[in-house]
A and B are shown apart, each in its own frame.
Chain A
Amino acid sequence: MANFGAGDVPAMLAELGVGVTLGAQSTKGIVDRADDRLLEAEGGMAAVIGRDVVVTIQAGTLTGLTVGSAVTVDGTAYRVSSLLAIEDGELVRFACRKP
């Protein structure tokens, strides 16, 4: 039995996604980018600013995608630093780091 809403995923990604490639394979993914204050000094003073880059794709569209894979997201090269199955395994969300 298909997961609830699974039929809507390809259309959603086609509408909102950007190009994501792994080697010769390509798909569409939704990218979330957000800056974050990290490692704040005790007392609430200075922190360092880091950027979260998280991509959501349909599961199974990039065969062999794993932690450490070299990917290109909307033209920018990254490495996968974390990979999680979400939405009952229908989607995969991975975090990116600069290579």
Chain B
Amino acid sequence: MSSLREQILADVNTALNTGRPPGVPAADRSRADDIPETVATAISVRPFRERVERVGSAKGPLAQRQLVIAVDCWASAAGDQPVDQALDPLLEWVTKALGGQTLAGKAHSVEEAEIRWDMARRDGAYVRVPVLVAVRYQTLRNDATARV
């Protein structure tokens, strides 16, 4: 069985791909390939960092975890449209698909934690926005597959 972390990442990817509105691209997992100029928008899900705290004493059996997932959203735009506007439907969808989720009980909470805009200009305008999503969950301290 895969770790609860991996299950959460898969569930977040699935949530982003379920009932997508028109114009929102499919999310992929930890995209390694570049996004060609012909692709107007893209979404990719990847682990960003995780903080772990032992629950109770040093010998306590539980680990409380906060997994921060980066949902990277990219867009390009030509002409005079501000490029960040091209991302608005994607950001709206990330909020709608993930906000308040518990991922079928795997997570205690799923909340957006931070959104940052990075832009660049070449013959078009380009923007990447990592949406950092904080997922709180709990496992046994010595078994990352055990949901408790």
Contact = CB atoms under 8 A, between A and B. Distances in A.
Q: Is the interface of B mostly helix, strand, loop or mixed?
A: strand
Nearest to B37: A49
Interface string A81-99: 1000000000000001111
A51 B70 contact: no
A24 interface: no
| Contact-residue bracket for chain A | 20 to 34
Chain B, interface size category, equals: 20 to 34
Interface secondary structure of A, over-half rule = strand
A52 B32 contact: no
B1 to A, nearest CB: 26
Interface in B71-118: 72, 74, 76, 78-79, 118
A98 B44 contact: no
Contacts of B46: 41, 43, 45
Interface of A: 35-39, 41-43, 45-53, 78, 81, 96-99
